[in-house]
Amino acid sequence: MKPTDTKPGWMKDLLDKRERKFLSPLASFSADALRRSPEQRSDKVYRQSFSLDADRILNSLAYTRYIDKTQVFSLIKNDHLTHRVLHVQLVSRIARTIGRYLGLNEDLIEAASLGHDLGHPPFGHDGEQMLSKLCFDNRAGYFHHNLQSIQFLEQLERNGRGWNLTLQTLDAILCHNGEVHSADLKPERKKDFTGFDKTLVQMKTIERPDPIPMTLEGCVVRIADTIAYVGRDMEDAIRLGMITRKELPGLSRKVLGDTNGTIVFNLVTDLISNSFGEPFLAFTQEVSEALRQLKAFNYARIYSDTDIKEHLKPVKQIYLYLFETYLNDLETNNPTLPALRHFYDGLGHGYLATHSNVEIVRDFIAGMTDSFFIRQAPAAMQPVAIER
């Protein structure tokens, strides 16, 4: 139907009104989105705020690098293992399904889902722990991948100009935490950029920070992160012969099932049924306990596996070598190493004026893909992937 009002912005206004009509009153509305700077581009005429965020994240360089980032298993020649790019897509799909049934804003959910792991350094959570120790030992605070995601999106992308994303999207990315098990999750709604910036600073001083999202959409992404990885990681471990289905916790097998598909279905169904119309998200007590036991099993049998840790020793050595090498090169005030020089030349003047050499090294290494990271080390240090 042809609109009667064709002034600029009519389509966006129409979509905003439709949100008010059809979404839950607990949802985040696009018209209420907050940005650091007013938008000047013409595409804001028809694209809603959170949809624009999702497009920007999808077109970021950091998103492109997902393709070669470890999820759990590294240096293994097996094309069927989950990588980070698939994980974020699974989170997005699961979170949008939950959000649709709860009447929440799917654009905000998609943006946060796609961006939630942008800050992961090479070799997943193991690499994160290695880089965090190096940063802390060099007085740059703790390294957290969710904090680094914000660093990329606001300080490094587009030669330091950043993407000017909404507070709601940035907050959901910062506050995702799939490792924490919560009986229920309720948003802390009253936030602004001043408080957000304080949280960014505080998180560097805390080893295990756990900020709570300001929106129900952010809460959905946080829980969907867990739903997406817990069964998928289990399937990968079974494929590699590390565990068998019969070894899964009894309550987990009984309540959730013993395949990724049934686990996802049962978790999503229970969450929707138990949270519909509520200002919080929660599983029923039985499902929550079954999920807790499955996560504990994964941590004991998969993520803490001694063979995996032994296999990653060369990676730890490369982290130390690269960190020290790059830091020494920067201390000359004229970096000479080609890869570091290229990164350095792309940094904005505002960034260089506010970041130490240690922070520059942190950001450079954190943005590397697994293969690029390996290639920066001397040949004698480079590990060889094994067949599994």
- Secondary structure, 3-state, 135-182: HHHCCCCCCCHHHHHHHHHHHHCCCCCCCCCEHHHHHHHHCCCCCCCC
Q: Residue 232: enclosing H or E segment and its boundaries?
A: helix 216-239
Q: What is the DSSP letter of 282?
A: E
Residues 269, 338, single domain; the answer is: no
Structural domain contains residue 360: yes
Higher model confidence: residue 195 or residue 79?
195
Q: What's the pLDDT score for residue 309?
A: 79
Q: What's the pLDDT score for residue 87?
A: 95
Q: Residue 185: enclosing H or E segment and its boundaries?
A: strand 184-185
Beta strand 76-77 with 386-387 is parallel
Q: Is the pLDDT of residue 3 over 60?
A: no
* Listed residue (109, 63, 60, 107) closest to 85, CA to CA: 63
Residue pair 169/112 in contact by the 8 Å Cβ criterion: yes
What average pLDDT does the segment 332-348 reach?
89
Out of 307, 339, 363, a domain closes at 307
Structure tokens at 222: 């946080």
Mean of all residue pLDDT scores within the chain = 93
What is the three-state SS of 334-384? CCCCHHHHHHHHCCCHHHHHHCCHHHHHHHHHHCCCHHHHHHCCCHHHCCC
Structural domain contains residue 376: yes
What average pLDDT does the segment 319-335 reach?
92
Residues 147, 233, single domain; the answer is: yes
Residues 275, 344, single domain; the answer is: no
Residue pair 73/81 in contact by the 8 Å Cβ criterion: yes
Residues 291, 324, single domain; the answer is: no
Among 70-79, 90-99, 216-225, 264-273, name the one with the lowest average pLDDT.
70-79
Residues 209, 291, single domain; the answer is: yes
Q: What is the sign of the dihedral through the CA atoms of 127, 129, 135 and 137?
A: negative
Residue pair 368/376 in contact by the 8 Å Cβ criterion: yes
Structural domain contains residue 342: yes
Structural domain contains residue 2: no
- Residue 84, domain extent: 46-307
Q: How many residues does the chain have?
A: 388
What average pLDDT does the segment 88-116 reach?
98
Residues 130, 191, single domain; the answer is: yes
Q: Residue 52: enclosing H or E segment and its boundaries?
A: helix 49-58
Residues 224, 348, single domain; the answer is: no
* Listed residue (166, 180, 224, 191) closest to 30, CA to CA: 166
Out of 307, 329, 361, a domain closes at 307
Q: What's the pLDDT score for residue 93?
A: 98
CATH number, domain with residue 295: 1.10.3210.10
Structural domain contains residue 115: yes
Position 45, amino acid: V
What is the three-state SS of 361-375? HHHHHHCCCHHHHHH
Burial label, 86 (beta-carbon count in 10 A; 0-12, 13-18, 19+): middle
Structural domain contains residue 30: no
Q: What's the pLDDT score for residue 386?
A: 80
Q: Is the pLDDT of residue 361 over 50?
A: yes
Residues 160, 279, single domain; the answer is: yes
What average pLDDT does the segment 183-194 reach?
93
Q: What's the pLDDT score for residue 43?
A: 58
Q: How far apart are CA 218 and CA 22, in angstroms?
A: 19
12-21, 95-104, 376-385 — which one is most confidently predicted on average? Answer: 95-104
39-53, 124-138, 321-335 — which one is most confidently predicted on average? Answer: 124-138
Structural domain contains residue 12: no
Q: What's the pLDDT score for residue 77?
A: 83
CB atoms within 10 A of CB 204: 16
- Indicate the number of domains in the chain: 2
Residues 147, 211, single domain; the answer is: yes
Q: What's the pLDDT score for residue 137?
A: 98
Residues 219, 322, single domain; the answer is: no
Residue pair 107/51 in contact by the 8 Å Cβ criterion: yes
Q: What's the pLDDT score for residue 231?
A: 97
Q: Is the pLDDT of residue 171 over 60?
A: yes
pLDDT band at 2 (very low <50, low <70, confident <90, very high): low
Out of 261, 291, 307, a domain closes at 307
Query: Per residue in 61-94, pLDDT tens?
Result: 999 999 999 888 888 888 888 899 999 999 999 9
What is the end-to-end Cα distance of the chain in Å, rounded? Answer: 57
What average pLDDT does the segment 257-274 reach?
98
Residues 229, 255, single domain; the answer is: yes
Q: What is the DSSP letter of 70?
A: B
Higher model confidence: residue 12 or residue 157?
157
pLDDT band at 1 (very low <50, low <70, confident <90, very high): very low
Q: What's the pLDDT score for residue 387?
A: 75
* Listed residue (134, 14, 127, 11) closest to 68, CA to CA: 127
Q: Write the CA distances from 101 to 51, 176, 291, integer angstroms.
A: 19, 21, 21
Structural domain contains residue 348: yes
Higher model confidence: residue 275 or residue 47?
275
Residues 296, 321, single domain; the answer is: no
